[in-house]
Structure 1
Amino acid sequence: MKFIKIATLAISLSLVGCISWVFAKSPFNDMPEGNYAVDLTHASVVWKVSHLGLSDYVARFADFDANIDFDPSDISKSKVTATINPMSIQTAYPKADEKDFDKVLATEKGWFNAGEFASITFSSSSIKMTNDTSAIMTGELSFLGVVKPVELDVTFNGAMLRQPFSGKPTMGFSASTVIKRSEWGMSKYVPSIGDDVEVMIEGEFVKSDD
Protein backbone atom coordinates (compact mmCIF):
# COMPACT_ATOMS: atom_id res chain seq x y z
CA MET A 1 0.00 0.00 0.00
CA LYS A 2 2.85 2.35 0.88
CA PHE A 3 4.51 1.57 -2.46
CA ILE A 4 1.29 2.42 -4.33
CA LYS A 5 1.03 5.76 -2.52
CA ILE A 6 4.65 6.60 -3.36
CA ALA A 7 4.16 5.59 -7.00
CA THR A 8 0.96 7.66 -7.22
CA LEU A 9 2.76 10.67 -5.75
CA ALA A 10 5.63 10.26 -8.19
CA ILE A 11 3.26 10.10 -11.15
CA SER A 12 1.37 13.16 -9.91
CA LEU A 13 4.57 15.16 -9.52
CA SER A 14 5.66 14.11 -13.02
CA LEU A 15 2.34 15.25 -14.50
CA VAL A 16 2.57 18.59 -12.69
CA GLY A 17 6.08 19.02 -14.03
CA CYS A 18 4.95 18.28 -17.58
CA ILE A 19 2.00 20.68 -17.33
CA SER A 20 4.24 23.40 -15.87
CA TRP A 21 6.70 22.94 -18.73
CA VAL A 22 4.00 23.11 -21.39
CA PHE A 23 2.38 26.23 -19.95
CA ALA A 24 5.61 27.99 -18.93
CA LYS A 25 5.76 31.54 -20.19
CA SER A 26 8.79 32.34 -22.31
CA PRO A 27 10.79 35.54 -21.90
CA PHE A 28 9.77 38.20 -24.41
CA ASN A 29 13.20 38.41 -26.04
CA ASP A 30 13.44 34.63 -26.49
CA MET A 31 10.56 34.53 -28.98
CA PRO A 32 11.55 33.87 -32.61
CA GLU A 33 11.75 36.74 -35.08
CA GLY A 34 9.13 37.11 -37.79
CA ASN A 35 5.48 37.79 -38.47
CA TYR A 36 2.80 37.07 -35.88
CA ALA A 37 -0.89 37.13 -36.87
CA VAL A 38 -3.72 37.81 -34.44
CA ASP A 39 -5.71 34.76 -33.33
CA LEU A 40 -9.28 36.00 -33.72
CA THR A 41 -10.60 33.30 -31.41
CA HIS A 42 -8.64 34.95 -28.58
CA ALA A 43 -8.85 38.64 -29.40
CA SER A 44 -11.22 41.56 -28.98
CA VAL A 45 -11.58 45.27 -29.78
CA VAL A 46 -13.97 46.90 -27.32
CA TRP A 47 -14.79 50.59 -26.95
CA LYS A 48 -16.88 52.66 -24.60
CA VAL A 49 -18.19 56.21 -24.52
CA SER A 50 -20.10 58.23 -21.94
CA HIS A 51 -23.87 58.55 -22.38
CA LEU A 52 -25.24 61.74 -20.75
CA GLY A 53 -22.67 61.31 -18.01
CA LEU A 54 -24.88 58.58 -16.55
CA SER A 55 -23.27 55.43 -17.93
CA ASP A 56 -20.65 54.22 -20.37
CA TYR A 57 -22.06 52.73 -23.55
CA VAL A 58 -20.00 49.68 -24.51
CA ALA A 59 -19.66 48.10 -27.97
CA ARG A 60 -17.16 46.08 -29.96
CA PHE A 61 -15.91 45.33 -33.45
CA ALA A 62 -16.16 41.67 -34.49
CA ASP A 63 -14.22 41.81 -37.76
CA PHE A 64 -10.60 42.95 -37.62
CA ASP A 65 -7.07 41.87 -38.43
CA ALA A 66 -3.69 42.64 -36.90
CA ASN A 67 -0.08 41.62 -37.40
CA ILE A 68 3.22 42.09 -35.61
CA ASP A 69 6.52 42.10 -37.47
CA PHE A 70 8.54 41.11 -34.41
CA ASP A 71 12.24 41.88 -33.85
CA PRO A 72 13.37 40.31 -30.55
CA SER A 73 16.85 41.83 -30.82
CA ASP A 74 15.40 45.35 -30.72
CA ILE A 75 11.73 45.57 -29.71
CA SER A 76 11.57 49.20 -30.82
CA LYS A 77 12.08 48.06 -34.42
CA SER A 78 9.02 45.82 -34.33
CA LYS A 79 6.02 46.93 -36.38
CA VAL A 80 2.30 46.57 -35.68
CA THR A 81 -0.49 47.01 -38.22
CA ALA A 82 -4.24 46.59 -37.78
CA THR A 83 -7.42 46.95 -39.81
CA ILE A 84 -11.01 47.12 -38.52
CA ASN A 85 -14.22 46.70 -40.48
CA PRO A 86 -16.67 49.34 -39.13
CA MET A 87 -19.60 47.31 -40.46
CA SER A 88 -18.87 44.73 -37.78
CA ILE A 89 -20.13 46.85 -34.86
CA GLN A 90 -21.89 44.85 -32.15
CA THR A 91 -23.73 46.87 -29.50
CA ALA A 92 -26.09 44.37 -27.83
CA TYR A 93 -28.76 47.07 -28.26
CA PRO A 94 -32.21 45.53 -27.55
CA LYS A 95 -33.88 44.46 -30.80
CA ALA A 96 -30.99 45.95 -32.75
CA ASP A 97 -32.01 44.06 -35.89
CA GLU A 98 -35.52 45.52 -35.85
CA LYS A 99 -34.25 49.08 -35.50
CA ASP A 100 -31.12 48.51 -37.63
CA PHE A 101 -29.30 50.20 -34.76
CA ASP A 102 -25.89 48.64 -35.41
CA LYS A 103 -26.24 49.27 -39.14
CA VAL A 104 -27.11 52.93 -38.54
CA LEU A 105 -24.01 53.41 -36.40
CA ALA A 106 -21.89 51.63 -39.01
CA THR A 107 -23.15 53.40 -42.12
CA GLU A 108 -24.72 56.75 -41.25
CA LYS A 109 -22.84 59.99 -41.85
CA GLY A 110 -21.89 61.51 -38.54
CA TRP A 111 -21.06 58.04 -37.24
CA PHE A 112 -18.74 55.47 -38.88
CA ASN A 113 -19.94 56.15 -42.45
CA ALA A 114 -18.66 52.79 -43.71
CA GLY A 115 -20.09 53.35 -47.18
CA GLU A 116 -17.50 56.06 -47.77
CA PHE A 117 -14.79 54.86 -45.37
CA ALA A 118 -14.74 51.07 -45.48
CA SER A 119 -11.98 50.49 -42.94
CA ILE A 120 -10.23 51.88 -39.88
CA THR A 121 -6.48 51.31 -39.96
CA PHE A 122 -3.54 51.65 -37.60
CA SER A 123 0.19 51.48 -38.30
CA SER A 124 2.79 51.82 -35.56
CA SER A 125 5.66 54.26 -35.93
CA SER A 126 7.50 53.67 -32.64
CA ILE A 127 7.50 51.30 -29.67
CA LYS A 128 9.14 52.44 -26.46
CA MET A 129 9.56 49.86 -23.71
CA THR A 130 8.90 51.39 -20.29
CA ASN A 131 9.81 48.20 -18.40
CA ASP A 132 10.10 44.48 -19.14
CA THR A 133 6.36 44.02 -19.62
CA SER A 134 4.96 47.35 -20.82
CA ALA A 135 5.45 49.85 -23.61
CA ILE A 136 4.11 53.01 -25.19
CA MET A 137 3.28 52.40 -28.83
CA THR A 138 2.77 55.40 -31.11
CA GLY A 139 1.23 55.14 -34.53
CA GLU A 140 -1.11 56.65 -37.09
CA LEU A 141 -4.84 56.00 -36.89
CA SER A 142 -6.74 56.46 -40.13
CA PHE A 143 -10.43 56.98 -39.42
CA LEU A 144 -13.15 58.74 -41.43
CA GLY A 145 -10.52 59.95 -43.87
CA VAL A 146 -8.48 61.66 -41.15
CA VAL A 147 -5.01 60.44 -40.19
CA LYS A 148 -3.73 61.41 -36.75
CA PRO A 149 -1.20 60.02 -34.26
CA VAL A 150 -2.34 58.03 -31.24
CA GLU A 151 -0.54 56.50 -28.27
CA LEU A 152 -1.43 53.11 -26.83
CA ASP A 153 -0.46 51.73 -23.44
CA VAL A 154 0.64 48.17 -24.13
CA THR A 155 1.07 45.37 -21.61
CA PHE A 156 2.98 42.22 -22.53
CA ASN A 157 1.02 39.43 -20.85
CA GLY A 158 3.33 36.57 -21.72
CA ALA A 159 4.55 34.24 -24.42
CA MET A 160 4.97 30.56 -25.17
CA LEU A 161 7.52 29.08 -27.52
CA ARG A 162 5.06 26.23 -27.99
CA GLN A 163 1.44 27.06 -27.23
CA PRO A 164 -0.05 23.76 -26.01
CA PHE A 165 -3.04 23.71 -28.40
CA SER A 166 -1.55 25.10 -31.62
CA GLY A 167 2.02 24.00 -31.01
CA LYS A 168 3.22 27.37 -32.33
CA PRO A 169 5.07 30.33 -30.78
CA THR A 170 2.41 32.67 -29.35
CA MET A 171 2.48 36.06 -27.62
CA GLY A 172 -0.30 37.80 -25.73
CA PHE A 173 -0.90 41.53 -25.30
CA SER A 174 -3.37 43.99 -23.80
CA ALA A 175 -3.55 47.58 -25.05
CA SER A 176 -5.65 50.65 -24.42
CA THR A 177 -5.98 54.22 -25.58
CA VAL A 178 -8.38 57.15 -25.41
CA ILE A 179 -9.19 59.18 -28.51
CA LYS A 180 -11.29 62.30 -29.01
CA ARG A 181 -13.67 61.28 -31.75
CA SER A 182 -14.32 64.88 -32.80
CA GLU A 183 -10.67 65.14 -33.88
CA TRP A 184 -11.46 62.58 -36.57
CA GLY A 185 -14.66 64.36 -37.58
CA MET A 186 -17.18 62.36 -35.54
CA SER A 187 -18.74 65.12 -33.44
CA LYS A 188 -22.38 64.01 -33.51
CA TYR A 189 -24.15 64.60 -30.19
CA VAL A 190 -21.01 65.82 -28.37
CA PRO A 191 -21.09 66.39 -25.39
CA SER A 192 -24.31 64.46 -24.63
CA ILE A 193 -22.50 61.45 -26.01
CA GLY A 194 -18.92 61.82 -24.85
CA ASP A 195 -16.08 63.03 -27.02
CA ASP A 196 -13.57 60.74 -25.30
CA VAL A 197 -13.73 57.13 -26.49
CA GLU A 198 -11.80 54.50 -24.56
CA VAL A 199 -10.55 51.62 -26.68
CA MET A 200 -9.51 48.33 -25.08
CA ILE A 201 -7.71 45.64 -27.07
CA GLU A 202 -6.85 42.05 -26.17
CA GLY A 203 -4.99 39.71 -28.46
CA GLU A 204 -2.96 36.57 -28.86
CA PHE A 205 -0.57 36.58 -31.80
CA VAL A 206 0.64 33.37 -33.42
CA LYS A 207 3.90 32.97 -35.37
CA SER A 208 3.17 32.61 -39.07
CA ASP A 209 4.60 29.61 -40.88
CA ASP A 210 7.85 30.41 -42.67
Structure 2
Amino acid sequence: MKLTTTFLAASSLLVLAACSGAETDTSGTAETDATETVEIEADAAAGEGVLAEVASATYSIEPTHAFLTAKVMHQGLSEYTLSFTSFDGTLDFNAADPASSSLTLTIDPTSVWTHFPGDYKAGHPDSPHDSWTEALAQDEGFMNAGAYPEITFTSTEVTRTGDTTGTVTGDLTFLGQTQPVTLDVTFNGVANVPWFGTRDLIGFDAGTTINRSEFGQDALQGMISDEVVVEFSGEFLQQEAAETDAETDGN
Protein backbone atom coordinates (compact mmCIF):
# COMPACT_ATOMS: atom_id res chain seq x y z
CA MET A 1 0.00 0.00 0.00
CA LYS A 2 1.17 3.54 -0.57
CA LEU A 3 1.95 4.57 2.93
CA THR A 4 2.50 7.99 4.47
CA THR A 5 5.76 9.90 4.26
CA THR A 6 5.60 10.50 8.01
CA PHE A 7 7.83 7.47 8.62
CA LEU A 8 10.44 8.74 6.16
CA ALA A 9 10.40 12.23 7.63
CA ALA A 10 10.63 10.93 11.20
CA SER A 11 13.57 8.67 10.42
CA SER A 12 15.29 11.52 8.59
CA LEU A 13 14.87 13.80 11.61
CA LEU A 14 16.37 11.11 13.85
CA VAL A 15 19.39 10.88 11.55
CA LEU A 16 19.83 14.65 11.58
CA ALA A 17 19.48 14.76 15.36
CA ALA A 18 22.11 12.06 15.77
CA CYS A 19 24.48 13.89 13.46
CA SER A 20 24.04 17.17 15.33
CA GLY A 21 24.85 15.48 18.64
CA ALA A 22 28.04 13.77 17.44
CA GLU A 23 31.52 15.28 17.77
CA THR A 24 32.64 15.52 14.14
CA ASP A 25 34.60 17.80 11.85
CA THR A 26 32.29 20.72 10.99
CA SER A 27 34.01 21.58 7.72
CA GLY A 28 31.56 21.34 4.87
CA THR A 29 28.60 21.07 7.27
CA ALA A 30 26.52 23.70 5.49
CA GLU A 31 26.89 21.93 2.16
CA THR A 32 26.04 18.54 3.68
CA ASP A 33 22.99 19.89 5.51
CA ALA A 34 21.72 21.53 2.35
CA THR A 35 22.12 18.30 0.40
CA GLU A 36 20.31 16.27 3.05
CA THR A 37 17.48 18.81 3.18
CA VAL A 38 17.00 18.73 -0.58
CA GLU A 39 16.97 14.90 -0.59
CA ILE A 40 14.44 14.73 2.24
CA GLU A 41 12.14 17.26 0.60
CA ALA A 42 12.40 15.51 -2.76
CA ASP A 43 11.57 12.11 -1.27
CA ALA A 44 8.64 13.53 0.66
CA ALA A 45 7.31 15.32 -2.42
CA ALA A 46 7.55 12.14 -4.47
CA GLY A 47 5.57 10.21 -1.88
CA GLU A 48 2.93 12.91 -1.57
CA GLY A 49 2.61 13.04 -5.36
CA VAL A 50 1.64 9.39 -5.56
CA LEU A 51 -0.74 9.73 -2.61
CA ALA A 52 -2.40 12.73 -4.22
CA GLU A 53 -3.56 10.48 -7.05
CA VAL A 54 -5.52 8.19 -4.72
CA ALA A 55 -8.84 9.22 -3.18
CA SER A 56 -9.46 8.71 0.52
CA ALA A 57 -12.40 6.33 0.39
CA THR A 58 -13.66 2.82 1.00
CA TYR A 59 -12.59 0.32 -1.65
CA SER A 60 -13.79 -3.21 -2.35
CA ILE A 61 -12.06 -6.02 -4.24
CA GLU A 62 -12.95 -5.93 -7.94
CA PRO A 63 -13.54 -9.68 -8.37
CA THR A 64 -12.81 -9.95 -12.08
CA HIS A 65 -9.27 -8.71 -11.49
CA ALA A 66 -8.25 -10.35 -8.23
CA PHE A 67 -6.28 -13.56 -7.72
CA LEU A 68 -5.48 -15.49 -4.55
CA THR A 69 -3.25 -18.56 -4.37
CA ALA A 70 -1.63 -20.77 -1.75
CA LYS A 71 1.42 -22.91 -2.49
CA VAL A 72 3.00 -25.85 -0.67
CA MET A 73 6.05 -27.90 -1.62
CA HIS A 74 5.10 -31.38 -2.81
CA GLN A 75 7.72 -33.94 -1.75
CA GLY A 76 10.34 -31.24 -2.25
CA LEU A 77 9.83 -31.47 -6.01
CA SER A 78 7.29 -28.84 -7.02
CA GLU A 79 5.09 -26.04 -5.74
CA TYR A 80 1.57 -27.41 -5.54
CA THR A 81 -0.76 -24.48 -6.09
CA LEU A 82 -4.29 -23.92 -4.83
CA SER A 83 -6.49 -21.07 -6.05
CA PHE A 84 -9.50 -19.51 -4.37
CA THR A 85 -12.22 -18.23 -6.67
CA SER A 86 -14.55 -16.61 -4.14
CA PHE A 87 -13.26 -13.99 -1.71
CA ASP A 88 -13.93 -10.37 -0.91
CA GLY A 89 -12.24 -7.57 0.91
CA THR A 90 -12.72 -4.01 2.05
CA LEU A 91 -10.00 -1.37 2.27
CA ASP A 92 -10.66 1.86 4.15
CA PHE A 93 -7.92 4.05 2.71
CA ASN A 94 -6.82 7.35 4.25
CA ALA A 95 -4.56 9.24 1.84
CA ALA A 96 -3.66 11.85 4.46
CA ASP A 97 -2.61 9.19 6.98
CA PRO A 98 -2.27 5.81 5.22
CA ALA A 99 -0.97 4.17 8.39
CA SER A 100 -4.48 4.54 9.79
CA SER A 101 -5.97 2.64 6.84
CA SER A 102 -7.56 -0.75 7.50
CA LEU A 103 -8.15 -3.95 5.54
CA THR A 104 -10.50 -6.90 5.99
CA LEU A 105 -10.59 -10.04 3.84
CA THR A 106 -12.98 -12.99 3.78
CA ILE A 107 -12.29 -16.21 1.85
CA ASP A 108 -14.78 -18.97 1.04
CA PRO A 109 -12.89 -22.26 1.58
CA THR A 110 -15.35 -24.15 -0.62
CA SER A 111 -14.09 -22.10 -3.57
CA VAL A 112 -10.68 -23.81 -3.51
CA TRP A 113 -9.58 -25.10 -6.92
CA THR A 114 -6.68 -27.22 -8.13
CA HIS A 115 -5.71 -28.68 -11.47
CA PHE A 116 -6.61 -32.35 -10.91
CA PRO A 117 -7.09 -33.96 -14.34
CA GLY A 118 -7.59 -37.54 -13.12
CA ASP A 119 -10.64 -39.43 -11.87
CA TYR A 120 -10.56 -38.77 -8.14
CA LYS A 121 -13.19 -41.37 -7.24
CA ALA A 122 -11.41 -44.07 -9.20
CA GLY A 123 -8.28 -43.51 -7.15
CA HIS A 124 -10.11 -42.94 -3.86
CA PRO A 125 -13.14 -45.25 -3.92
CA ASP A 126 -13.61 -45.06 -0.15
CA SER A 127 -13.64 -41.26 -0.01
CA PRO A 128 -16.98 -39.65 0.85
CA HIS A 129 -16.10 -36.84 -1.57
CA ASP A 130 -16.74 -36.76 -5.30
CA SER A 131 -13.71 -34.67 -6.28
CA TRP A 132 -10.30 -33.61 -5.02
CA THR A 133 -11.43 -30.00 -4.64
CA GLU A 134 -14.42 -31.14 -2.60
CA ALA A 135 -12.11 -33.20 -0.40
CA LEU A 136 -9.81 -30.21 0.12
CA ALA A 137 -12.74 -27.99 1.03
CA GLN A 138 -14.69 -30.35 3.25
CA ASP A 139 -12.31 -32.90 4.76
CA GLU A 140 -11.52 -32.33 8.44
CA GLY A 141 -7.82 -32.66 7.68
CA PHE A 142 -7.85 -29.80 5.19
CA MET A 143 -10.24 -26.80 5.03
CA ASN A 144 -13.07 -28.39 7.08
CA ALA A 145 -15.49 -25.87 5.58
CA GLY A 146 -18.53 -27.47 7.18
CA ALA A 147 -17.25 -26.47 10.61
CA TYR A 148 -15.36 -23.33 9.54
CA PRO A 149 -17.13 -21.71 6.57
CA GLU A 150 -14.86 -18.66 6.39
CA ILE A 151 -11.18 -17.76 6.43
CA THR A 152 -10.72 -14.15 7.56
CA PHE A 153 -8.00 -11.53 7.87
CA THR A 154 -8.36 -8.27 9.80
CA SER A 155 -5.54 -5.75 9.79
CA THR A 156 -4.15 -4.32 13.02
CA GLU A 157 -1.18 -2.26 11.79
CA VAL A 158 0.04 -0.68 8.56
CA THR A 159 3.70 0.32 8.16
CA ARG A 160 5.53 1.98 5.30
CA THR A 161 8.75 0.36 4.07
CA GLY A 162 9.32 2.30 0.82
CA ASP A 163 7.75 4.69 -1.68
CA THR A 164 5.36 2.01 -2.96
CA THR A 165 5.82 -0.78 -0.42
CA GLY A 166 4.67 -1.54 3.07
CA THR A 167 3.60 -4.21 5.51
CA VAL A 168 0.13 -4.96 6.79
CA THR A 169 0.01 -6.94 10.02
CA GLY A 170 -3.24 -8.51 11.13
CA ASP A 171 -5.12 -11.47 12.53
CA LEU A 172 -5.65 -14.49 10.27
CA THR A 173 -8.40 -16.87 11.38
CA PHE A 174 -8.28 -20.34 9.80
CA LEU A 175 -9.77 -23.58 11.13
CA GLY A 176 -11.06 -21.68 14.14
CA GLN A 177 -7.62 -20.53 15.23
CA THR A 178 -6.33 -16.96 15.02
CA GLN A 179 -2.66 -16.13 14.51
CA PRO A 180 -0.86 -12.85 13.68
CA VAL A 181 0.56 -12.64 10.17
CA THR A 182 2.30 -9.89 8.23
CA LEU A 183 1.68 -9.23 4.55
CA ASP A 184 4.40 -7.69 2.39
CA VAL A 185 2.50 -5.29 0.14
CA THR A 186 3.36 -3.41 -3.05
CA PHE A 187 1.17 -0.58 -4.34
CA ASN A 188 0.99 -0.91 -8.14
CA GLY A 189 -0.86 2.29 -9.02
CA VAL A 190 -4.21 3.94 -9.58
CA ALA A 191 -6.34 4.12 -12.73
CA ASN A 192 -9.79 4.97 -14.04
CA VAL A 193 -11.79 3.04 -16.62
CA PRO A 194 -14.89 4.29 -18.47
CA TRP A 195 -17.30 1.66 -17.13
CA PHE A 196 -16.62 2.70 -13.52
CA GLY A 197 -16.96 6.42 -14.18
CA THR A 198 -14.84 8.60 -11.92
CA ARG A 199 -14.27 5.91 -9.31
CA ASP A 200 -10.65 4.93 -8.74
CA LEU A 201 -9.17 1.48 -9.20
CA ILE A 202 -6.07 0.81 -7.13
CA GLY A 203 -3.85 -2.25 -7.52
CA PHE A 204 -1.76 -4.21 -5.04
CA ASP A 205 0.40 -7.30 -4.79
CA ALA A 206 0.68 -8.94 -1.38
CA GLY A 207 2.17 -12.06 0.08
CA THR A 208 3.08 -13.90 3.24
CA THR A 209 4.26 -17.29 4.45
CA ILE A 210 2.47 -19.20 7.21
CA ASN A 211 2.94 -22.56 8.90
CA ARG A 212 -0.27 -24.54 8.55
CA SER A 213 0.52 -26.54 11.69
CA GLU A 214 0.07 -23.34 13.72
CA PHE A 215 -3.59 -23.45 12.71
CA GLY A 216 -3.97 -27.12 13.58
CA GLN A 217 -3.64 -28.55 10.07
CA ASP A 218 -1.26 -31.50 9.83
CA ALA A 219 -2.63 -33.61 6.96
CA LEU A 220 -0.10 -35.28 4.65
CA GLN A 221 2.89 -34.47 6.83
CA GLY A 222 6.10 -35.45 5.09
CA MET A 223 4.43 -35.31 1.68
CA ILE A 224 3.65 -31.60 1.63
CA SER A 225 5.42 -28.77 3.43
CA ASP A 226 4.29 -27.14 6.63
CA GLU A 227 5.07 -23.76 5.07
CA VAL A 228 2.36 -22.27 2.88
CA VAL A 229 3.13 -19.33 0.61
CA VAL A 230 0.06 -17.13 0.18
CA GLU A 231 -0.02 -14.61 -2.69
CA PHE A 232 -2.55 -11.99 -3.80
CA SER A 233 -2.62 -9.74 -6.83
CA GLY A 234 -5.63 -7.63 -7.56
CA GLU A 235 -7.55 -4.42 -7.83
CA PHE A 236 -9.78 -2.57 -5.38
CA LEU A 237 -12.64 -0.41 -6.66
CA GLN A 238 -13.66 2.79 -4.93
CA GLN A 239 -17.18 2.44 -3.59
CA GLU A 240 -19.82 4.87 -4.71
CA ALA A 241 -20.90 7.49 -2.20
CA ALA A 242 -24.28 5.80 -1.75
CA GLU A 243 -22.57 2.49 -0.84
CA THR A 244 -20.30 4.17 1.70
CA ASP A 245 -23.19 6.13 3.25
CA ALA A 246 -25.27 2.96 3.55
CA GLU A 247 -22.44 1.16 5.35
CA THR A 248 -21.99 4.12 7.71
CA ASP A 249 -25.71 4.23 8.50
CA GLY A 250 -25.70 0.51 9.23
CA ASN A 251 -22.92 0.74 11.82
Q: TM-score, normalised by structure 1?
A: 0.84
Q: Report the Cα distance in structure 2 between the residues aligned to 1:37 and 1:113, rounded to whole angstroms.
A: 27
Match in the other structure for 1:57 = 80
Which has the higher relative contact order, 1 or 2, with Cα contacts under 8 A spaced 6 or more apart?
A: 1
What code does the residue aligned with 2:94 have? Answer: D
**Structure 2: distance between partners of 1:95 and 1:141:** 33
Structure-2 change in CA distance of 1:29 and 1:148 (3 Å) = farther
Which of 89, 111, 116 is the aligned partner of 1:66? 89
CA contact under 8 A between 2:87 and 2:106: conserved in structure 1? Answer: yes
Name the residue aligned to 1:128.
159
Structure-2 change in CA distance of 1:96 and 1:67 (3 Å)? farther
Alpha-carbon separation, structure 2, partners of 1:156 and 1:122: 19
Give the structure with higher Rg (CA): 2
The TM-score with structure 2 as length reference comes to: 0.70
Q: 2:64 aligns with which of 41, 60, 81?
A: 41
Distance (Å, rounded) in 1 between the aligned partners of 2:119 and 2:207: 27
| Matched residue, 2:127 | none
Q: Is the 8 A contact 2:53 2:190 kept in 1?
A: no
Q: Which whole-Å CA distance do the structure 1 matches of 2:228 and 2:148 have between them?
A: 19
3-state SS of the aligned residue for 2:196? coil
Q: Does 1:110 align with 2:133?
A: no
One-letter amino acid of the counterpart of residue 166, structure 1: F
Q: Secondary structure at the match of 2:71?
A: strand
2:215 is aligned to: 184
Output the amino acid matched with 1:124: S
Q: Distance in 1 between matches of 2:213 and 2:176?
A: 13
Q: Distance in 2 between matches of 1:109 and 1:40?
A: 28
Residue 155 to residue 88, structure 1, CA distance change in 2 (3 Å): same
CA distance in structure 2 between the partners assigned to 1:30 and 1:70 by the alignment: 12
Instruction: Report the alpha carbon displacement of residue 164 of structure 1 after superposing the two structures with TM.
Output: 4.1
CA distance in 1, matches of 2:113, 2:171: 24
SS of the aligned residue for 1:105 comes to helix
- Say yes or no: does 1:157 pair with 2:188: yes
Deviation at 1:157, TM superposition (A): 0.4
The alignment partner of 2:210 has SS state of: strand
Q: Percent identity?
A: 39
Whether the aligned pair in 2 keeps the contact of 1:30 and 1:72 (CA below 8 Å) is: no
> Kindly tell me: are residues 97 and 73 of structure 1, through their superposed partners in 2, closer, same or farther at Cα, counting changes over 3 Å?
farther
2:168 aligned residue (93, 114, 137): 137
Q: Deviations over 1:52-84 (max 9, x none)?
A: 111110110000001100100111100000000
Specify every segment of 5 or more residues in structure 1 that has no aligned partner in the other structure, as ranges. Answer: 1-25
Aligned 8 A contact 1:28 1:158 in 2: no
